[in-house]
Structure 1
Amino acid sequence: MDSQIERLANRAEQLLHKMRNDQRLLIAIAGIPGSGKTTLAEILAKRLNFNHAQHSSEITSPHYKKIAITLPMDGFHLTRAQLSAMPDPEMAHARRGAEFTFDGKGFYELVKELRRPITSESTATVWAPSFDHAVKDPVEMGIEVPREARVIIFEGNYLLLDQKPWSDAAKMMDLKFFVRVPFDVATERLVKRHLAAGLAATEEEAMKRVVENDLVNGKMIEDLLKEEEVDEFVDSGESKSEGVHT
C-alpha cells in the first residue's frame, strides 16, 4: 500500500504544480462498499500534507494550514425524514446506501462550487455537509473547506458512476482513482462493520444486509464504471482482515 500511496501522491503533486494558484486539484476515489475508499483517502491526504509541510516555511507554526482535505460522500445521504416520505419508505430505509438514497444533485453543486477560482469572494470558504453517525443523518455545513485547501479528495461509492448527475460531477475531477477489492473480501469487512456499528445484532442479520443491499450496490458500481476514464486502479489487498472502512 505504501508504494501505491507514494505513486498517487506523486501524480497529484505533479498535476498541482502545473495548475494556477487559484485552482484546486479535485480527486475522486470510488469503489464498491467495503473496498477501502475512506482509508485510502485519509492516508493520501496525510501523505500530501506531510510532503507539503516538508517544503513549507510555516511548518513550525501551530496554525499551519493543511493543503489537502477529504470530503466523504456520506454527507449527501438523504435524511431519514426524506426516506420516510418516499412512496415505499420501508424499502427506502432498508436500501439506505443505494444510489437513489443520495442527493446526487447536491454533490454536483458542491463540486461545481469547488471548481471555481479560489480568489472569488464566493469561494473564500466553502462548506460541505458531514454525516452524524450518532443521529444517523447528515449535518449541513459540517465540513469547512478553507481557501488554503488546494487539494480536495472526494471519496464515495458513486463518484465514478456513469449516470447523471454523478457523471457530470466526475467530468470536473482532475484525477479519478478506483479501489478494487474481491467481493468476498468486501463481504467479510462489511459484516464486521455492521456488527461494530450496531446496524445488525447478529452475524446472520449483518450478512443479510450485505447481500441484499451492499453487494447489490457494489454490482451496480462496477457495471456502470467506465474503466477507460479511470486514471488509476488501486488494489485494496487480498487479505480479508485488511481494512474495515468504506
Structure 2
Amino acid sequence: MNPAPTGRDAQPPRGEAVTFEELTAAARALITPGGRRILGITGAPGSGKSTLGETLVAALDGQAVLVGLDGFHLAGAELDRLGRKPRKGAADTFDAAGYVHLLRRLRAREDATVYTSFFDRSLEESIACAVPVPREVPLIITEGNYLLVDQGPWQPVRELLDVCWFLEPGEDVRFDRLIARHMSYGRTAKEAYERSHGSDQRNAELIESTRSHADRILRVPAVRTPSRPTEEATA
C-alpha cells in the first residue's frame, strides 16, 4: 500500500455533496423561536456564497436575513489613500473590526433594528444602512471570504458564528463563475481571466488555508458557465 501523501503533495479531503434542499433543512433546524443564531458561509471567490445565502433566505420566508461581509469593503477613496486599491478584495481592504462589532450587535439583540451595509457591485462601493435586521428575526446568515481567518482583527469572527459552512464547488466551476462575474461588470475576457488568476487567487489561497475551521465542507451542485477566455484573449 502506498503511503498517504504529505506536505505539498497532500490533497485536502473533498467536501460532502449536498443539495439546496438539504442545506435549507439544515438552516431551518438552527431556528429557535425567541432566540437568534448566526450561520456563516465562506469559501473562495466564486464559490457560490452569495447565491446560497440568497437561496436560503428566500426559502426560509422571513425567518432569516442575509448579511454580507462585502458591505464592509473600504471605500474606493480610502483604498486610494492607503495604496491598496489594486488589491481590493484582500483581507486588509475590509473594515474587519466593524464587521466584528456588527456580529456582536446582532448576537446581543438589544436594538429593535440593526442596519447594515450592502455592497453594490455595479458601483463597486458599499451602501450604508441598506439592510435592516429586525430584532425578532431568529436566523442571521452571513457570507464572506474571511470568516474563518484566525489572525489579526478577523480572529473574533469564528466564535461569533454558531455554525460555519465552507463551500468548494471545484476549481473549474469556481473559475468559470468568477470570470463570468468580472465580465458581467464590464471587464474584458483578458482582464477577467487575469483578475481571477491573480489577486483573486492569492485571496483564495488564504481562504483555503482556513477550511479546517469549518463545521462542514460542502459541494453544492451548480451549472458551469463556459466563460474561460480564448488563448488569444489571455496572451
With normalisation by structure 1, the TM-score equals: 0.79
Partner secondary structure for residue 151 of structure 2:
coil
Post-superposition shift, 1:165?
A: 2.6
Partner of 1:54: none
Distance 1:9 1:193 in 2: 25
Post-superposition shift, 1:226?
A: 4.8
- 1:8 correspondence with 2:13: no
Partner secondary structure for residue 33 of structure 1:
coil
CA deviations over 1:47-103 (Å, ceiling 9, x no partner):
222xxxxxxxxxxxxxxxx111111111100001111111xx2xx222111111111
Distance 2:184 2:190 in 1: 14
Residues 4 and 239 (structure 1), Cα distance of their counterparts in 2 relative to 1, 3 Å cut? closer
Q: Partner letter of residue 189 of structure 1?
A: R
Between 107-116 and 126-135, the greater mean CA deviation after superposition: 126-135
Aligned to 1:132, which of 116, 120, 142?
A: 120
Structure 1 unaligned residues grouped into runs of 5+: 50-65
Q: Partner letter of residue 169 of structure 1?
A: V
- 1:155 correspondence with 2:151: no
- 1:174 correspondence with 2:151: no
- 1:95 correspondence with 2:87: yes
Mapping for residues 20-169 of structure 1, pairs under 5 Å: 21=34, 23-49=35-61, 66-86=62-82, 89=83, 92-116=84-108, 118=109, 120=110, 123-169=111-157
Partner of 1:203: 189
2:44–2:207 contact (8 Å) kept in structure 1: yes
Post-superposition shift, 1:127?
A: 0.8
RMSD: 2.2
CA deviations over 1:88-139 (Å, ceiling 9, x no partner):
x2xx2221111111111110000000010x3x3xx11101111233432112
Q: Partner letter of residue 168 of structure 1?
A: P
Post-superposition shift, 1:170?
A: 1.5
Aligned to 2:214, which of 230, 235, 243?
A: 230
Partner secondary structure for residue 16 of structure 1:
coil
Partner of 2:200: 214
Residues 3 and 206 (structure 1), Cα distance of their counterparts in 2 relative to 1, 3 Å cut? closer
Between 167-176 and 133-142, the greater mean CA deviation after superposition: 133-142
Distance 2:98 2:124 in 1: 19
Between 186-195 and 4-13, the greater mean CA deviation after superposition: 4-13
Equivalenced residue count is 211
1:35–1:236 contact (8 Å) kept in structure 2: no
Partner secondary structure for residue 152 of structure 2:
coil
Q: Partner letter of residue 11 of structure 1?
A: A
2:36–2:137 contact (8 Å) kept in structure 1: yes
Distance 2:139 2:24 in 1: 11
Identity %: 35
Post-superposition shift, 1:158?
A: 0.9
